[in-house]
Amino acid sequence: AGCLVGQGMKVPDRSLVVGVPGKIKGKATDEQLWWVEEAPKIYVEMTKKYKELGLE
């Protein structure tokens, strides 16, 4: 979040890019990639549970 990848910047698969402007800092770990994939799903489930409990 908050990273700015410039137009035309080539980013290899599994790269960790940070900052403004974005700079490649290395390879993303399996754990980091897991969070990118799974965190949004977790938030969707939490939203459903809060609504069921009337905690909107």
Domain contains 48: yes
Return the H-helix or E-strand segment holding 56: none
Backbone angles phi, psi at 23, to 5 degrees: -130, 140
* Residue found under tokens 């990118």: 36
pLDDT digits (tens, 9 = 90+) for 4-28: 999 999 999 999 999 999 999 999 9
Mean pLDDT over the full length of the chain: 93
Within-domain flag for 19: yes
pTM, rounded to two decimals: 0.62
Tell me if 9 is assigned to some domain.
no
What total of structural domains would you count in the chain? 1
6 DSSP 8-state letter? P
Structural contact between residues 20 and 3, judged by C-beta atoms closer than 8 angstroms: yes
In a domain, 33, yes or no: yes
CB 25 within 8 A of CB 16: yes
Q: Would residue 46 count as lying in a domain?
A: yes
- Alpha-carbon distance 45 to 40, whole Å? 9
Structural domain harbouring 39: 15-53
